[in-house]
Amino acid sequence: MTTHVKIHGYHIDVFQHVNNARYLEFYEADRWEWMNKRNFINWAIKNNLTMAAVNINVNYIQGVLLGDELTVVTRMDKIGSKSAVCYQQIIRNNAGGAEVVSDAYVTFVFIDNITNKAIVIDDELREKLASFKSGTDDFIQN
């Protein structure tokens, strides 16, 4: 999945760059699009599941400035027994090419909405998550 973001004035902080917290917003926006594109959210709601991020490791490689055009890309990285990890990049697109400005690993679990407890990832959920491994052509190798 890819989400495109053009940096506007409201993205900029008093130091004239994009604050670290904004990167998390860009990453989350792409994850929502990623799930919506595959109708995953409706499936999760129908199955009384909530997806909850439990750990986010972000690398801030370069600053992002007013007017920059970014692409956010996401793919499934690992699927365990109770959690899964997606890998994301924010890429700056400019005349000289494309460069990674940040990347992140997001670990998440699934909560049963009835018991309010994390569940074991069963075969059906694992199959759904495995379908998120495709479409990684937009990633840049670091």
CA distance 54 to 1: 21
Rounded to the nearest angstrom, the gap between the alpha carbon of residue 8 and the centroid of all alpha carbons in its chain is 21
Nearest 5°: CA angle at 106, between 115 and 81? Answer: 50
Which residues are known to be catalytic? Answer: 13
**Ramachandran sector of residue 86 (left: φ over 0; alpha: ψ -120 to 50; beta: rest):** beta
Nearest to 34 by CA among 138, 140, 141: 138
